[in-house]
Amino acid sequence: MQTPRTIRTNRASSLIETAKLNDVEPLPYLSDVLTKIVNGHPNSQIDDLMPWAYAAKHELKAVA
């Protein structure tokens, strides 16, 4: 049986590993995403904060 702590740890690990798989540095990614959420990022646009969407958006900025 998983404890609430184990579940939280697994979620964080999954998000970090997914960021790495999408060539996104985990610490700056998590910092930026958490800041956006705290500052009122709309729930209807939460998919924009997923690592694969974040990577695509930041690749476009790097090219510009």
Q: How far apart are the first and last CA of the chain?
A: 49
Task: Name every residue whose Cβ is closer than 8 Å to that of residue 16 and which is 6 or more positions away in sequence.
Answer: 26, 30
d(CA 49, CA 64): 20
pLDDT by residue, tens only, the chain of 64 residues: 889 999 999 999 999 999 999 999 999 999 999 999 999 999 999 999 999 998 888 765 654 5
Structure-block tokens of residue 27: 């610490």
pTM to 2 decimal places: 0.75
How many Cβ atoms are within 10 Å of 29's Cβ, its own excluded?
21
